[in-house]
Amino acid sequence: MRNGNAKAINGNAKRCFKLMIVDDSNLMRRRIERSQQFEDLQLVGTAGNGLEALELFKKTDPDVVTMDITMPRMDGIECIGQLVALKPAVRILVISALADKATAVEAMERGANGFLEKPFTDRQLNEAIAELMR
Amino acid sequence: MTLAGTERRRRQLITAGLGTALTLVMGTVLIMGFRLATHMRANIGALQTASTLQIYPQEISHQLNSLRDRLEVRAYSGQALADLQATVKRFDQMLNELGVSAEADSPQLHRALQLWHQYAPVLDPVLSFNAQPYVDSDTAGSSLSREGRQYYAEVKRAQLFASDSAGALQGQLAALAATLQRTCSDAAARLRMLLLAGVLAALALAGAAGYFRLTRSSHERAAREAQEQTRDILKTVHEGFFLLDADYRIGSVWSEALTRMFGRQDFAGLSFEELLKDLVAPATLATATKYIKLLWGDRAHENLMKSINPLGQLEIVMDNGHGGKETRYLEFDFHRVMGPEGVKHVLCAVGDITSSVRLAHELRESQENANAQVDMMLSMLHVEPLQLMAFLDSAETSLNLVNGILREPARSDAEFRKKLGGLFRELHGIKGEASALNLKSVASRVHALEDMVADCKRKPELSGSDFLPLVLRLDDLLAHLRSVREMGARLTTLKESGPAAAASVAAAAPHGSAAPRQPRPVEDLSSALQSMAERLAEDHAKRFRLTVSGLSEVPPSYAATIKDCVIQMLRNAAVHGIEPPEVRRAHTKHDVGAVSVHFRKVGEGYELVFEDDGAGIATEALKAAALRQQLISEEEARSMDTRAAMALIFRPGFSTQDDVSMDAGRGVGMDVVARSVYALGGRIGVSTHPGRFTRFKILLPAAQAVSSAVA
What CA–CA distance (Å, rounded) separates B284 from B273?
A: 11
pLDDT at residue number B497: 63
DSSP states of B135-155 as a string?
Answer: EEETTTEEEE-HHHHHHHHHH
pLDDT interval class at A64 (50, 70, 90)? very high
Task: Look at B287 and A115 and tell me if their CB atoms are within 8 Å.
Answer: no
A106 interfaces chain B, CB cutoff of 8 Å: yes
pLDDT at residue number A6: 33
> Looking at beta carbons, which residues of chain B come within 8 Å of A108?
294, 299-300, 304, 308
Beta strands B250-254 and B240-244: pairing type? antiparallel
Beta strands B342-352 and B240-244: pairing type? antiparallel
Residue B497 gets the label, from left (phi > 0), alpha (psi -120 to 50) or beta, of left
pLDDT at residue number B623: 84
Question: SS3 letters for A66-112?
Answer: EECCCCCCCCHHHHHHHHHHHCCCCEEEEEECCCCHHHHHHHHHHCC
- Asked if B311 and B332 count as a contact pair (C-beta separation under 8 A), the reply is yes
pLDDT interval class at B314 (50, 70, 90)? confident
- Asked if B243 and B346 count as a contact pair (C-beta separation under 8 A), the reply is yes
What CA–CA distance (Å, rounded) separates B596 from B161?
A: 183
If one counts every other C-beta atom within 10 angstroms of the C-beta of residue B605, the result is 14
> Looking at beta carbons, which residues of chain A come within 8 Å of B284?
102
Task: Look at B300 and A102 and tell me if their CB atoms are within 8 Å.
Answer: no
For residues B139 and B349, the model is more confident at B349
What CA–CA distance (Å, rounded) separates B367 from B237?
A: 34
What CA–CA distance (Å, rounded) separates B205 from B597?
A: 120
> Looking at beta carbons, which residues of chain B come within 8 Å of A115?
304, 307-308
Q: What is the mean pLDDT of chain B?
A: 82
Report residue B705: phi and psi, to 5°: -65, -50
CB under 8 A, 24+ apart: contacts of A83-86: A83/A53, A83/A54, A83/A57, A83/A111, A84/A110, A84/A111, A86/A54, A86/A57, A86/A58
pLDDT interval class at A90 (50, 70, 90)? very high
Classify the C-alpha dihedral B602-B608-B611-B616 as positive or negative: negative
Nearest neighbour of B287 by CB, restricted to A101, A111, A131: A101
Cα–Cα nearest to B68, from B173, B151, B171? B151
pLDDT at residue number B349: 92
pLDDT interval class at B663 (50, 70, 90)? low
Range scoring the smallest mean pLDDT among B116-125, B484-493, B508-517: B508-517
Cα–Cα nearest to B572, from B669, B673, B438? B669
pLDDT interval class at A94 (50, 70, 90)? very high
Cα–Cα nearest to B299, from B331, B336, B245? B336
Cα–Cα nearest to A78, from A99, A43, A109, A32? A109
- Asked if A93 and A66 count as a contact pair (C-beta separation under 8 A), the reply is yes
Task: Look at A109 and B294 and tell me if their CB atoms are within 8 Å.
Answer: yes
> Looking at beta carbons, which residues of chain B come within 8 Å of A111?
299
Is residue B73 helix, strand or coil?
A: coil
Nearest neighbour of A101 by CB, restricted to B293, B300, B310: B310
* Interval B394-410 mean pLDDT: 77
> Looking at beta carbons, which residues of chain A come within 8 Å of B289?
none
Is residue B707 helix, strand or coil?
A: coil
pLDDT digits (tens, 9 = 90+) for B277-305: 888 888 888 998 889 888 887 776 777 88
Q: Which residues of A12-43 are buried (b: 16+ CB within 10 A; e: fewer)?
A: eeeebbbbbbbbbeeebbebbeeebeeeebeb
CA distances from A103 to A39, A76, A100, B283, B296 (A): 31, 10, 6, 11, 19
pLDDT interval class at B26 (50, 70, 90)? confident
What CA–CA distance (Å, rounded) separates B57 from B55?
A: 6
What CA–CA distance (Å, rounded) separates B442 from B381?
A: 15
For residues B245 and B652, the model is more confident at B245
Task: Look at A114 and B304 and tell me if their CB atoms are within 8 Å.
Answer: yes
> Looking at beta carbons, which residues of chain A come within 8 Å of B310?
101-102, 104-105
What CA–CA distance (Å, rounded) separates B66 from B521?
A: 180
Asked whether residue B621 carries a pLDDT value surpassing 60, the answer given is yes
Asked whether residue B46 carries a pLDDT value surpassing 70, the answer given is yes
Q: Choosing among B289, B292, B304, which should be mutated to test the A contact, i.e. which has the most A CBs within 10 A?
A: B304
Asked whether residue B656 carries a pLDDT value surpassing 70, the answer given is no
B287 interfaces chain A, CB cutoff of 8 Å: yes
Range scoring the smallest mean pLDDT among A116-120, B102-106, B367-371: B102-106
β partners of residue B686: B696
A101 interfaces chain B, CB cutoff of 8 Å: yes
pLDDT at residue number B707: 42
pLDDT digits (tens, 9 = 90+) for B602-618: 888 899 999 999 888 88
Beta strands A41-47 and A17-22: pairing type? parallel
A113 interfaces chain B, CB cutoff of 8 Å: yes
Asked whether residue B506 carries a pLDDT value surpassing 50, the answer given is no
What CA–CA distance (Å, rounded) separates B50 from B179?
A: 10
pLDDT at residue number B488: 80
Asked whether residue B398 carries a pLDDT value surpassing 90, the answer given is no
Q: Please tell me the distance in Å from B343's CA to the nearest CA on chain A.
A: 17
A88 interfaces chain B, CB cutoff of 8 Å: no
Cα–Cα nearest to B238, from B262, B255, B263? B255
| B304, amino acid identity | L
Please give the residue of chain A at the shortest CA–CA distance from B309: A101
pLDDT interval class at B451 (50, 70, 90)? confident
Q: Please tell me the distance in Å from B300's CA to the nearest CA on chain A.
A: 6
Range scoring the smallest mean pLDDT among A8-12, A80-84, A104-108, B186-190: A8-12
Report residue B458: phi and psi, to 5°: -75, -15
What CA–CA distance (Å, rounded) separates B14 from B25?
A: 16
Range scoring the smallest mean pLDDT among B96-110, B644-658, B689-703: B644-658
Is residue B342 helix, strand or coil?
A: strand
pLDDT interval class at B476 (50, 70, 90)? confident
> Looking at beta carbons, which residues of chain A come within 8 Å of B291?
105
| B617, amino acid identity | I
For residues A1 and A112, the model is more confident at A112
pLDDT interval class at B598 (50, 70, 90)? very high
Cα–Cα nearest to B260, from B243, B233, B277, B237? B237
B298 interfaces chain A, CB cutoff of 8 Å: no
| Residue B113 C-alpha from the chain's centroid | 100
Q: Which residues of B261-274 are buried (b: 16+ CB within 10 A; e: fewer)?
A: bbeeeebeebbbee
CA atoms within 13 A of residue A21's CA, in its CB half-sphere: 21
Predicted TM-score (pTM) of the model is 0.47
- Spatial neighbors of B216 by CB under 8 A, at least 6 apart, are B11, B15
- Start-end of H helices in B237-281: 257-262, 272-277
In the sheet with B342-352, reading across from the earlier edge strand, the strands are: B250-254, B240-244, B342-352, B325-339, B314-319
Please give the helix or strand (H or E) that residue B593 lies within, else none: strand B593-602
Q: Please tell me the distance in Å from A10's CA to the nearest CA on chain B.
A: 33
What CA–CA distance (Å, rounded) separates B652 from B419?
A: 13
Q: Please tell me the distance in Å from A104's CA to the nearest CA on chain B.
A: 6
* Interval A9-29 mean pLDDT: 75
* Interval B686-697 mean pLDDT: 88
Listed ranges B154-163, B392-401, B491-500, B623-632; the one with the highest mean pLDDT:
B154-163
Size of interface A-B (CB pairs under 8 A): 37
pLDDT interval class at B514 (50, 70, 90)? very low
* Interval B629-636 mean pLDDT: 81
B309 interfaces chain A, CB cutoff of 8 Å: yes
What CA–CA distance (Å, rounded) separates B437 from B525?
A: 10
What CA–CA distance (Å, rounded) separates B247 from B274?
A: 13
* Interval A35-39 mean pLDDT: 82
β partners of residue A19: A43, A64
pLDDT interval class at A66 (50, 70, 90)? very high
pLDDT at residue number B369: 81
Task: Look at A109 and B290 and tell me if their CB atoms are within 8 Å.
Answer: yes
Q: Please tell me the distance in Å from A27's CA to the nearest CA on chain B.
A: 26
Q: Please tell me the distance in Å from A113's CA to the nearest CA on chain B.
A: 6
